Structure 1
Amino acid sequence: MSTSADIGLWGVPLAILGGAIRVSTPFLFVSLGECLTERSGRINLGLEGTLVFGAMAGYAIAFQTGSAWAGVLAAALAGTVFGLFHGWICKFRGVNDIAIGIAMMLLGSGLAFFFGKPYIQPVAPDLPAIPLGWWSDVTQVQAALQINVLFLIGAAFSVALWWVFKSTRVGLTIRVVGDSTDAARAMGLNPDLVRLLATAAGGALAGVGGAYLSLYYPGSWNEGVSSGQGLMAVALVIFARWNPVYCFWAALLFGGAGALGPALQSVGVSQGYYLFYAAPYVLTLGLLIATSSPNRALEGAPGELSITK
């Protein structure tokens, strides 16, 4: 069997490719959830807390039942509950959705840390992966092409969500509510209900992203499992211009940035590689600065978002 040294510097792009796929999956699910929520006219900064709580809930249920997929379902249900609670509070007059999102982020993280303490040591079953590198004898190729099923589901869902926004009545309803509450009411729609359901669905997607973290990569539950991915996903959605397909590519970009440090380490770079572990955070800061231009910052943004007012 070949080792990493056998392919030399080719191991860097190969490791980045594999790492991008692995690291991008939680970004993808949280960004799709945030995209859906924001297209309805609401920002949910609480998805970081939902992600962490989903990771804990998914790991706990997977351990108790012996089924990783039961854990994914539990994480989605937990995210739905968080989304419903967030959406219900935000329907009241004078409530700021950004402030509530921060409160929900702290609540979700706190509950996850409290209820998750008994599950730090136990080992839960992992989510399955498809070995697309079976044809190669090179260890790095096999590892890079070990594709988790949730990544493929997320990729398919990004296209499906784009189609829903573009070509269906449900998508049109969400877009109308997100662009103008008054126009939505004039059409006989209930903006509060639409935003409540969109926030709940967005929370479910974030919960699934959390389950991926604890049940596949890194594949364990601990209090630092998220590393701020839920918050970075908000910047990712702005960068993707509220387009689900662009969210997929942006998630891969963030994933590749996150995989840069481990990729350099895998080919024997022993000095300075750890600086590249900060690449996702630097990328987030750079994107926020780049998109803060008065001419481009809100291009494509739903009109009812708090940041547009």
Structure 2
Amino acid sequence: MSTAADIGIWGVPLAIIGGAIRVSTPFLFVSLGECLTERSGRINLGLEGTLVFGAMSGYAVAYGTGSPWLGVLAAAMAGVLFGLFHGWICKFKGVNDIAIGIALMLLGMGLAFFFGKPYIQPVAPDLPAIPLGWWSDIPQVQAALQVNALFLIGAVLAVALHWMFKNTRVGLAIRVAGDSTDAARAIGLNPDTVRLLSTAAGGALAGVGGAYLSLYYPGSWNEGISSGQGLMAVALVIFARWNPINCFWAALLFGGAGALGPALQSVGVTSGYYLFFAAPYVLTLALLIITSSPDKAMEGAPGALSITK
């Protein structure tokens, strides 16, 4: 039987590609959700809590029903509820959406840990994967190219959102509400309603990202299932300049950074590889520093966004 070492140095890029696809999927869904929310003029720092609660609720429903796709649907609905609450409370005068987001992040994580205790040991059914490595007889190639359907759905969704923002009335309404509250009201839009619905849809996407974590990779429910993907996605959206297509590529970049440690371990590197597990956090810090320069910080940002004021 072949081993990772049999592939030689090619095992590293192969493992990084496969790992990038697996690790990037939660980043992709959460960043697309945050992109949609921020394009409407609202920032939601609570998506980390939504991600964790979505992971728990998706796992619980999948375990109870035997269907992982019903688990994904439940996670999306949980995200909608969190998004609706965030959007509703933020419409009141004097309410800071950043502070509310942090509060909801803590609430979501607390509720997930409380209600998820009975599901730490039980095993729920996993989401299926598409074997794109069928053409190879090397187990490492086959494993690296096991692509979950949610990754492909996320890629299509990134293109669809990009097209929606540019070519549809819904996209125009979101962009106008995000750029100027007064302009939105001038053309007959209710900016609070637009932001409410956008935040709810963004929460649904974050919930799906959580379901991916618990139902596919790593594929179990525990209290440490998220390593800050929800918060890192906010930096990812800024780096992507609020463009859904760029969110896809940025998610792959973050996913590749997260796959460095396991990739080195797979080819026999046994010393120091664990340092590369910090790569996503180092990358987040570096991107925040780069994008915080005066001439680039808010390039492409919606005008009504809190962080632009």
Distance 1:103 1:83 in 2: 13
Matches of 1:250 and 1:106, distance apart in 2? 26
Q: Name 2:113's counterpart in structure 1.
A: 113
In 2: Cα distance, 1:4 partner to 1:285 partner? 32
Q: In the TM superposition, what is the alpha-carbon distance from 1:6 to its structure 2 partner?
A: 1.1
Question: Which residue of 1 is the match for residue 165 of structure 2?
Answer: 165
Letter in 2 for 1:117: K
Could you tell me which amino acid in structure 2 is paired with residue 31 of structure 1? S
Q: What do residues 35-75 of structure 1 show as CA deviations (whole Å, max 9, x unaligned)? A: 00000000000000000000000000000000000000000
Distance 1:193 1:42 in 2: 12
**Which residue of 2 is the match for residue 13 of structure 1?**
13
Deviation sequence 1:100-150 (CA, Å, 0-9, x none): 000000000000000000000000000010001011111110011000000
CA RMSD in angstroms, aligned pairs only: 0.4
Letter in 1 for 2:85: F
2:23 match: 23
CA deviation after TM superposition for structure 1 residue 244, in Å: 0.1
Structure 1 partner of 2:274: 274
Q: How does 1:166-181 map to 2 (within 5 A)?
A: 166-181=166-181
- Please tell me whether residue 221 in structure 1 is matched to residue 221 in structure 2: yes
Once residues 247 and 228 of structure 1 are traced to their aligned partners in structure 2, the CA distance between those partners, rounded to angstroms, is: 17
Matched, 1:92 2:92: yes
One-letter identity of the residue aligned with 2:87: G
Q: Any residues of structure 2 matched to 1:178-257 within 5 Å, and which?
A: 178-257=178-257
User: Gaps spanning 5+ residues in structure 1: where?
Assistant: none
Give the corresponding residue for 2:72: 72
Alpha-carbon distance, 1:2 to partner: 2.1
* Count of matched residue positions in the alignment of Structure 1 and Structure 2: 309
Query: Percent of counterpart pairs with the same letter?
Result: 86
Q: Which runs of 5+ in 2 are unaligned?
A: none
- Any runs of at least 4 consecutive aligned residues in structure 1 with deviations exceeding 4 A, and if so which? none
Report the Cα distance in structure 1 between the residues aligned to 2:293 and 2:123, rounded to whole angstroms. Answer: 47
Q: Counterparts of 1:4 and 1:95 in 2: how far apart (Å)?
A: 54
Is the Cα contact below 8 Å between 1:68 and 1:126 reproduced in 2?
Answer: yes
Q: Distance in 2 between matches of 1:85 and 1:146?
A: 37
CA contact (8 A) 1:2 1:137 kept: no
> 1:262 Cα shift?
0.3
Q: For residues 167-187 of structure 1, give each alpha carbon's deviation from its aligned partner in whole angstroms, at most 9, with x where no partner exists.
A: 000000000000000010011
Partner residue of 1:34?
A: 34
Query: Could you tell me which residue of structure 1 aligns to residue 304 of structure 2?
Result: 304
Amino acid at match of 1:208: V
Q: Could you tell me which residue of structure 1 aligns to residue 48 of structure 2?
A: 48
- Structure 2: how far apart are the matches of 1:29 and 1:72? 12
Report how far residue 86 of structure 1 moved: 0.4
